[in-house]
Structures are given as structure tokens and as C-alpha cells.
Amino acid sequence: MGALLDIKGLRKQFGGVTALAGVDLAVDEGEILGVVGPNGSGKTTLFNSVTGVHKPTAGTVSWRGRDITGIPANAVSRAGIAYTFQQAMAFPGLSVFENVQIATEHCSNALANFPWTTPASLLEFVGLSGLSEEKAGILPFGRLRLLGLALALATRPSLILLDEPAAGLNDRETKTLVHLVEQFPEHGISVCVIDHDMKLMQMLCRRLAVLDFGSKIADGPTADVLNDPKVLEVYLGGAL
């Protein structure tokens, strides 16, 4: 069986800056894949070039065997790919419940056996039931992150791209996040996650891909990749 998401030769140029220099990356059904790399190595550009935020300069993105290269963000979402940004996106003046309600109402994906089809079930899953009447704008950062996860799940995706989901979270919040994300594959949701927190990546991902200057320099089982001399060299020549 082919990969769920199959990226081939992806290239993104911003004027004279080569953010992606021809990246191949496949996400398989049911996996949690990690993408790491130093600042500016192209991780967010990779997500942006898959999700319609940027049009790739060259290369292809296939989704379940269909070419989706350069399609707009709303079409990517309808296809079943959700994206959580580094900054959680929610309407600050609306309640937590209303935010999730709007997201569920705009969902047209009919994923069989999807467990969280109502705003209440989504809020319960991410542990925000008790805050459903609060305005999203007053939520502390960690809770806002959980709301971002609920909003992504509300689109009933088959794949979620998480961009630095644990940035700014404390240890307890990070554990909560890991506990939630670990459950996604058993509900038919694959995951591709970017983060700098190697402890988090080791907890979540059996496979890691490493970007450096817009090129993939390693891709394989997490423990192997973290011991790869090329990867150690990129991380300041030190142990991770």
C-alpha cells in the first residue's frame, strides 16, 4: 500500500532563499512521524507547502495517491489534512464551546467511526469541558493549545500536522498533550509533528526525519536517527 501523504522533490524558494531544496517525505497510515531540524531548516515551510499556505516552487504532494500539489488551504482541509499552527488560532471573543461548534459545523468530512462528532465530545476529550463557557481569549496558553487541538480534530482529519505543539507548555501540559496525541492513530488519525523538544519527540515518534538547510539528512527509527553522526553534527556537534 502507498503512503498516506507522499511528498516528492518539494522545493520552496523565497527570492534568493532556498527554504526547501527538494525534500522527499512519506507519512504512512497510522504513524506518528516527527520532523526535526535546527532553526530555519525548513520545517514550517514544509508544512506550509503541503497545506496551501505557500505554493511550492517545484515537486509534488500526493494524498492517498491523488496529486494535491498547490491546492488551496480549504481544499487541503476538506481532503482530510488538519494543521495546528505555532500560535493557536481561535476567535478570542467567542466562548470555547462556540469556537469548537463553528469548526464542527464547517466540517464536511464524513470519516467513518470518528469518535468526536459533537463540540461537547471534543471538549471532553481534550479536557476543556469545564471551561466551555469561557471566552477563548482569556484562556491560559496551555489551555489555548488544547483548544487548538480540538479545533483541528473538529475537521475530522485523517492526518494532523502539529507545528511545535509543546512550545511554551509546562511538563504537566506536555504530558497531557502526549497522552492525547498518542491516541490519534487508534482512531484513524495519522500525525506528523514538528518540535524542538527531543524528549517529546522520543515519547511520541517511532520515526524521525531531520531537515538541515532545506534538505532531508536522515529518516528512520527515532533511536537510529538520534545516534546518526550527521544528525549529531547538525546539532552543534553535541549529543542530543
Ligand X SMILES: Nc1ncnc2c1ncn2[C@@H]1O[C@H](COP(=O)(O)OP(=O)(O)OP(=O)(O)O)[C@@H](O)[C@H]1O
Q: Report if residue 40 touches ligand X, rule: CB under 6 A.
A: yes
Task: Pick between residue 43 and residue 145 the one whose CB is nearest to ligand X.
Answer: 43
Q: Which one of 34, 45, 61, 116 is in contact with ligand X (CB under 6 A)?
A: 45
Q: Strand 32-36 and strand 58-63: pairing?
A: unpaired
Measured from the CB atom, the residue of 13 and 109 that comes closer to ligand X is 13
Q: How many CB atoms lie within 10 A of CB 239?
A: 8
What is the C-alpha radius of gyration for the chain, rounded to an integer number of angstroms? 18
The residue from 7, 10, 19, 150 that contacts ligand X (CB under 6 A) is: 19
For residue 39, state whether it binds ligand X (rule: CB under 6 A).
yes
Q: Could you tell me if 149 and 180 are in contact, meaning their C-beta atoms sit under 8 angstroms apart?
A: yes
| 174 is a site residue for ligand X (CB under 6 A) | no
- Per CB under 6 A, 44 contacts ligand X: yes
Distances (CA, A) of 35 to 12, 27, 72, 105: 17, 11, 23, 31
Least separation in angstroms between residue 164's CB and ligand X is: 7
Site pattern 120..139 for ligand X (x: CB under 6 A): --------------------
168 binds ligand X (CB under 6 A): no
